[in-house]
Chains A and B, each alone.
Chain A
Amino acid sequence: MQANTRAKSFITDFVRKIPPVLWITLLLITIFSMASDQYLKFSNFTNILVQSVPLMLVAFAQTLIVLTQGTDLSLGAQVSFVTVLWIYLTKAGLPIYIAAIISVVASMFVGSINGLIVSKGKIPPFIATLGMQNILNSISMLLTAGASIYIYHPLFYDVTKAKIIGIPLVVWITAFMFMVTWVVLYKTKLGAQIFGLGGNQEALTLAGINLVKPSIKIYAFAGLLTSVSGLITTCRLESGQPVVGAGWEFEAVAATLLGGTSLREGKGGIGGTIFGVLLITILKNGLNISGVPSLYQNAIIGLIILMSIVIDALARRMKSYEEGAKL
């Protein structure tokens, strides 16, 4: 009798430990694979991974900012800016690799200005980064005269085609960036400060910790992640697109929330964000493959994201309630 209940509680514990976003994702995969026989194929698996890459990197950046209780609205504009700047500088005659490095540095610089305004100027991140979004959009438009810019270079094609052990190179790059972010978040002083900023800013200030430097570092690191997303997007589209990233910042917020990171308490982490992004990508891919007309797609995507977040929140509340009851 006792063993029975113990086994039962073990299973329920195990089921509860799986974040809701994961089993919603699995559920979607099941439904889509029933809807189309083209779905469960290795080529579609890599297709989904590759499609998720640009948003994945932006979502990592957004997760870091959300953990500090901020929201960076300039991330999408940073992606567009990097795609435009890279092509623009290459067109101007710089070697393509140098141009890429300059674009990355420029994006990190933009991030650090965000961090400076937020921490030193004590401006809410929402407003500060909204301003930056407009400025970057405008610069991208000015550099390209409103249209896309284009240059032929074999590098773009090579990057998107390259595979290591059957997995595309861009996925490996993303995995590497994930590891870097993970180390920064959990193994460095900066990571501790990120959680500190989200948890209790006043306590940090009272403890005499200067918040300016960590803020600049965090936003600059977000800029680095975003710029890699921008470089990969450029390779995928083989052109500089002044509006390509529009709206990505919000999808990144959605992915972050789906991944279990909280907007208020500085709680959560980067691992869940992966599944948040995959959920969004799998949803879009599956709807396309099973031939759902695009007029319904946005509503379905919105509905599922909303319900997933609600289920996640309810599960959490239930969990803390039960834990409270145990005490």
Chain B
Amino acid sequence: MKKVFLMAISLILVVAVLVGCGQSATNKPSESTAPSTSSEPAKSEEPKPSEKPLANSYWGDAPASEADSAPVPIDNLPTEGIGIQISTNVKANEKYKIAIIVKNTTNPFLLKSIAGTEKAAKDMGFECISLAPARQDSLEDQVKIIEDAIQQGVDGIILHPIDSNGIMPAIRKAEEANIPVACIGTPAAKQTFLRTGVDYKATGLLITHHVAEQIGKKGKIIILEGPPAAQNAQERLAGIKEALQSYPEIEVVASQTTNFKRTEGMQVTENLLQKYKDIDAIIACNDESALGAIQALKAAGLAGKVVIGSFDGNEDGSSAIKNGDMHVTYNTDPFGSTYLAAAYIVQYLNEGTMPPKYFVPFPSELQNPLITGANIDQYMSDIAWWR
């Protein structure tokens, strides 16, 4: 019995210490809000903006796919700059609790989303809570997390939805509790408070036009597609195909999926190079698959002879641009996107100000998101979101 007792005691200690660690993060704001109790009476006189009825034109039932995706002029954004340079004048009136909920904690893109929110929390003065499913990419867990965040009484949610339709019931619950939900990346099926992050179709258009210019608007190209079922991959591919319509002399000799993976990008390119030896360009739907393609080209002795366009601007992708292996990529900036989303949420919680429209693409073509050999040094030293 003694042993069991000892085990139990140690268990209590472990749990208490671990929860204590988590709690210390949540406790800080309550300490720092303590001085603000003097302003309590003023607060109770006028209702908090988040208690006001919501602007239903945004939180309506309109499908996300019907949203206007025109970029918002830079001057109208509440933030300045992109990547780690991003900054803002927005300050939180109170110590709001804003949750950043991602899909998993292995993808660098998502980790930098969390980092972006943490920076925003520091700059604007709110409390950031980062949550991710215990089981990677589990929609069911993500739904539970949102339910728990509502219970916890968060003021706003920044979300990377795992599934557009499946996440809707959870988002509806948050909206019923008057919590604004900003989606990044793949949007929820219906329009919410805000969608930001890149407009995937626009990224496809921009990169394809750039690559087409590079190869003199004619020649043979290969497209390495993303996962066929992934919505962002489909939108990006649609952009690529739309751009190619304006270049009748460019022939797409092959368009195959590499599931956003480096190994598959390499295998598929190896196989295609057996058949097509005289290609002029490869457009890969993300940096990882492009890096695989570069490996295959190097093995075939074609390195440097093929123009490669890609998306993300991640660490290895940036190095490839610096080495001259890759020609252009798109800075998809998860760091800045979440920062912007946080700024809009804080503005809303402060004064009830809604974003200018539901979909605010970021970084849009107005922010020079293309990374090429010409600006790679500046990108790597000042902007890169992965730093």
Contact = CB atoms under 8 A, between A and B. Distances in A.
Please say whether chains A and B are actual partners in one complex.
yes
Interface of A: 24, 27-28, 31-32, 35-36, 38, 41, 43-44, 47, 50-51, 54, 145-148, 150, 156-157, 160, 233, 236-239, 241, 244, 246-247, 284-298, 300-301, 303-304, 307-308, 310-311, 314-315, 318
B229 A292 contact: no
A307 B7 contact: yes
Contact of A145 (B11, B153, B229): B229
A160 B169 contact: yes
A224 to B, nearest CB: 21
Contacts of B148: 47, 284-285, 288-289
B219 interface: no
Contacts of A145: 228-229
A294 B132 contact: yes
A28 B16 CA distance: 9
A142 to B, nearest CB: 12
7 contacts: A54-B140, A146-B229, A241-B139, A284-B134, A290-B26, A292-B21, A304-B14
Q: Find the residue from B12, B134, B141, B168 having the highest chain A CB count within 10 A.
A: B134
Nearest to B102: A294
Contact of A300 (B18, B23, B132): B18
Given A292-B22, A294-B131, A241 B144 contact: no
A75 to B, nearest CB: 14
Nearest to B16: A31
Contacts of A38: 151-153
Interface residues of B, number: 51
B269 to A, nearest CB: 23
Contact of B169 (A27, A237, A304): A237
Interface in B5-19: 7-8, 10-12, 14-16, 18-19
B189 A150 contact: yes
A288 B140 contact: no
Contacts of B20: 35
Given A38-B152, A311-B11, A291 B22 contact: yes
Contacts of B365: none
B142 to A, nearest CB: 10
Contacts of A24: 11
A307 B165 contact: no
Given A148-B165, A311-B7, A301 B134 contact: yes
A54 B144 CA distance: 12
Contacts of A288: 131, 144-145, 148-149, 152
Nearest to A234: B166
Nearest to A87: B165
Contact of B229 (A147, A241, A285, A314): A147
B1 interface: yes
A180 B164 CA distance: 36
B143 interface: yes
Interface string B123-138: 0000001111111001
B235 interface: no
Nearest to A291: B26
B7 A310 contact: yes
B130 A36 contact: no
A275 to B, nearest CB: 16
Contacts of B50: none
Contacts of A295: 105, 132
A39 to B, nearest CB: 8
A106 B25 CA distance: 48
Given A24-B11, A291-B22, A233 B140 contact: yes
A286 to B, nearest CB: 7
Contacts of A311: 4, 7-8, 11
